[in-house]
Structure 1
């Protein structure tokens, strides 16, 4: 009977409190939210990436062709796998018509001399050009309009850098043309001295990666020793990747992962079939020395492309964010449901762009019982209390208890 009476009183007490809270439109009854689990926002570097398969290939390939109308092939002077320098002999052939070959070589030499003179003029003109500081884009016409250089001015330093890059590009083209001219002049010298035999020289340095014994074109291919990574992107991935994006080339060698960057993304797919998916070629140039030829053409690698990056970002675990909001525990002891704007996500971490600061306390359990703008309480952390570590026998607890009662 006594237990039944206690149970009835307890139920009436709970019911009365529930009714008071339900009817409390003026919020005169204090509400308290209990927080069991909470965490803090962190400062960390976040990146959004795309990992794609790739294969190592030569950066450049120079294909050598043989015009059978010019003469009869005699012999190769190199073999597949040989390393060649500019000017090294590649093959010989016997001309069938001296006068025709003489005219052809003369025309090619004249054409190359004109191109070399034009490149030298461009380099001299752009190298001596002083860029004025202004807000608009600088448009420069070179070589009587043959070459156009467009430079968006964003400061003298950037302008000078673009100028140097343009000069380097044209200087490289000039060196290539001069090597071709030297080869043709030597062929002309052979023709004039022998009357019927010409030795063709290498226009570039590299490795003989392909050689056609059947004399089909291309007769041979000279590949540069420098390697880069080649990959392909789907239509969706092509919309995300741009040139100059930071990329790690992941190898299975002792070199490990090598830093690099996207240097080329094609706007044209490899194949354009209606029923097939489109794939867009991509080249990644990476930094790293080929120690004793560790890296070889054909090695398969991984391409870890950084699409977006946020350094020193305020971050919070994804499962602590509820429908675009977080439960912030303020210093005055109030629980606030704050709306946040999120950014980059890496694994379980999400960047908080707006709505939180570094070191903010964030409650997350039991989330279904949280109420906005209420006082919160947390569980008592006994290990954090000093007295928890003290031994009772070292304390005159009776004295302090009587003293406390006396003060009360």
Structure 2
């Protein structure tokens, strides 16, 4: 009798479960309530994301400038600098004895006169363009002016803003040219004065600032090589990395020798592979990175005050030397304040939204940048929306969701504190609502 009763109860339970499953399965009009129990849920948050690639690099001088010696002009005397020495413009590099005093003096006088003429033309151009007024409104024809009818003709674009920018750029170029020619004239005049005083000796001075990289002991040209003290980073890209890198991409430079961390940008990427092209092995493409110098004193600070970070950055750049190895981290894409979600909460470019109506909604999304385990959401969801994660079997379209009460996360002390809660207002509101 007991066994029959037990079996009957089991049969009733099975029929009840089967009936419920059948009703839910046959419910095409959603008349049967579906409730999803969501245990884990996460909000879509805001984050700054970036995609990067890393490659080894090395620091090198931005340029090398050779200094030559004309053996027909005289006989080499001696070097006046050593390899590795720092030189400024005007510092003596080497000396030599001339073969013919009068011929050398005439050549120097001719060179000095040529430079003086060039300086006069540059000064005239600067004065003329400085006095020229760009029309404030667009004109039918582009404004232009002539400094010297046979030499210089400058035409400006019709847009006044572009024209003023072009004017400033032209003036800056001419000022640099003026400085360079003035330095050259000073060197020639110094050599001429020395020759007239000694009768046979000329000292060649450095025309630029830098570090003496190499002296030619065999007196073959270039006699001296001076490298710039301004550094940049050089690296190589693999075939797979080359299409992703473009000029202007920001770069972080981690220098292993000094533990320095600098900022820079991709200055140029070669379109031709390094060395001989071969079927065997992978091709590599050289590229260069400019280093960002710290701001000038007072540029970003009040009355010339610099922050500790700026001072440290300046010291780091001063301590760097050509040949130091570095890790180059190139940012290929970035997004500030992007709607972000962890990839584990996505299901093949779909998420389960928890709507304000209390139901689940399956939403297709478009994703962007991936950083670590995070992924940018570009379409389909916004910052602040909630996403259900588990259990997966409970996630159904249109289902009403319920979530557990996480008592340990509730601010019970704050709620029960009479100093922070006005209980009389709540009691009065409850009585009036009855």
Q: Normalising TM by the smaller chain, what interval? A: 0.7 to 0.9
Q: How many Å apart are 1:202 and its aligned residue?
A: 0.8
Equivalent residue, structure 2, for 1:365: 390
Tell me, yes or no, if structure 1 residue 281 matches structure 2 residue 306.
Answer: no
TM-score with structure 1 length normalisation? 0.80
Equivalent residue, structure 1, for 2:304: none
Distance 1:245 1:376, change over 3 A: same
Equivalent residue, structure 2, for 1:230: 234
Distance 1:118 1:371, change over 3 A: farther
Task: Quote the Cα distance in structure 2 between the aligned partners of 1:104 and 1:239.
Answer: 53
Distance 1:59 1:274, change over 3 A: closer
Equivalent residue, structure 1, for 2:29: 26
Equivalent residue, structure 1, for 2:15: 12
Task: Quote the Cα distance in structure 2 between the aligned partners of 1:336 and 1:134.
Answer: 56
Task: Quote the Cα distance in structure 2 between the aligned partners of 1:197 and 1:146.
Answer: 39
Tell me, yes or no, if structure 1 residue 241 matches structure 2 residue 264.
Answer: no
Equivalent residue, structure 1, for 2:221: 217
Q: How does 1:107-186 map to 2 (within 5 A)?
A: 108-109=111-112, 112-113=115-116, 115-128=118-131, 130=133, 132=136, 156=161, 164=168, 167-186=171-190
SS in 2 for 1:11: helix
Distance 1:77 1:141, change over 3 A: farther
Which runs of 5 or more structure 1 residues have no equivalent in the other structure? 388-408
Q: How does 1:17-96 map to 2 (within 5 A)?
A: 17-96=20-99
Q: How many Å apart are 1:327 and its aligned residue?
A: 0.9
Conserved? CA contact 2:254–2:326, under 8 Å:
yes
Query: Residue by residue, what CA displacement relative to the aligned partner does 1:257-295 show, whole Å, maximum 9, x if unpaired?
Result: 123333x21445463522161412212213331369532
Q: How does 1:352-391 map to 2 (within 5 A)?
A: 352-383=377-408
Q: How many Å apart are 1:104 and its aligned residue?
A: 5.1
Task: Quote the Cα distance in structure 1 between the aligned partners of 2:358 and 2:78.
Answer: 90
Conserved? CA contact 2:257–2:324, under 8 Å:
no
Q: How many Å apart are 1:333 and its aligned residue?
A: 0.5
Task: Quote the Cα distance in structure 1 between the aligned partners of 2:240 and 2:340.
Answer: 27
Q: How many Å apart are 1:225 and its aligned residue?
A: 2.8
Query: Residue by residue, what CA displacement relative to the aligned partner does 1:145-184 show, whole Å, maximum 9, x if unpaired?
Result: 878788896x94x876675455444433432232223223
Q: How many Å apart are 1:383 and its aligned residue?
A: 3.9
SS in 1 for 2:29: coil
Conserved? CA contact 1:73–1:93, under 8 Å:
yes
Conserved? CA contact 2:343–2:373, under 8 Å:
yes
Task: Quote the Cα distance in structure 2 between the aligned partners of 1:304 and 1:139.
Answer: 46
Distance 1:268 1:22, change over 3 A: closer
